[in-house]
Amino acid sequence: MKNDAQIQQDVLDQLKWDPLLNASEIGVSVKNGVVTLSGHVDSYLKKLEAEKQAKKVVGVKAIAEDIQVGVSPSYKRSDTEIAEAAVNAIKWHTSINEQSIKAKVEDGVITLEGEVDWGYQRESAKNAVVNLIGVRSVINNLTLKQKNAPENLKQKISAAFHRSASIDASKIQVEVEGNKAILKGKVRSFAEREDAEDAIWSAPGIFRVENKLEVEEEAEFIL
């Protein structure tokens, strides 16, 4: 089993491995498997990327995000310019109906509001705007239109887990209550926990996910 110092070093190495990031800008501390990321980066995309890379490390149970985004003067945009760019980015995204989404920008923070049909469209809308120049953060307030979940939805979700190479479906239990999916069981990593939740958002009729999956401890092997 990895101790906190080993996890910290692995996270630092993972950050150095990513060409988008400057690892010297990001601080990493670990306590009981919970990783805290701190520091200062010049784009919101880099903040998300640092979190993404940390989640890949075995032994990480949770992420506390404390990275600050300060856009450099050369990339500074007015809120009006960011809003226009956001509207265009969503418009050209083929999986999203841009007429159902409104983007509000205040001090570089984009707030998305409106309704979409599917969970993956909610994430797609956010992904369409996170890498825009000048964006400091994105608040995703998009909601899903209420739909009746099909009776065999639990089986459909289970089948989706079995198709995924990154998910050990045998250790995950799915419960469906109306339009809510509840995930229980054990996963091998924090990244697998998120992959399982992401798979749920593609299920028809689901507009709420309660993720109770726990990251299991690494097994200790005695030779």
Residue 184 one-letter amino acid: K
Alpha helix stretches (DSSP H) within 26-178: 44-55, 79-91, 119-129, 153-163
Range of the domain at 61: 4-70
Same domain? 45 vs 12: yes
Please report where in the chains the tokens 């993720």 appear, as a residue: 211
Same domain? 9 vs 66: yes
Whether residue 220 is contained in a domain is answered as no
pLDDT at residue 1 greater than cutoff 70: yes
Same domain? 81 vs 66: no
- Which of 131, 158, 146, 132 is CA-nearest to residue 207? 146
Whether residue 222 is contained in a domain is answered as no
pLDDT at residue 27 greater than cutoff 90: yes
CB-facing half-sphere around the CA of 63: CA atoms within 13 A: 24
pLDDT digits (tens, 9 = 90+) for 112-150: 999 888 878 888 899 999 989 899 999 999 988 876 666
User: What's this model's pTM, rounded to 2 decimal places?
Assistant: 0.70
pLDDT digits (tens, 9 = 90+) for 83-96: 999 999 998 886 77
pLDDT at residue 220 greater than cutoff 60: no
Which of 85, 115, 144 is the C-terminal boundary of a domain?
144
Residue 117: which CATH number? 3.30.1340
Same domain? 30 vs 79: no
Domain count, the chain: 3
φ, ψ of residue 38 in degrees (nearest 5) = -135, 180
Same domain? 56 vs 87: no
Please list, in sequence order, all residues whose beta carbon lies within 8 angstroms of the beta carbon of residue 193, skipping any fewer than 6 positions away.
187, 211, 213, 215
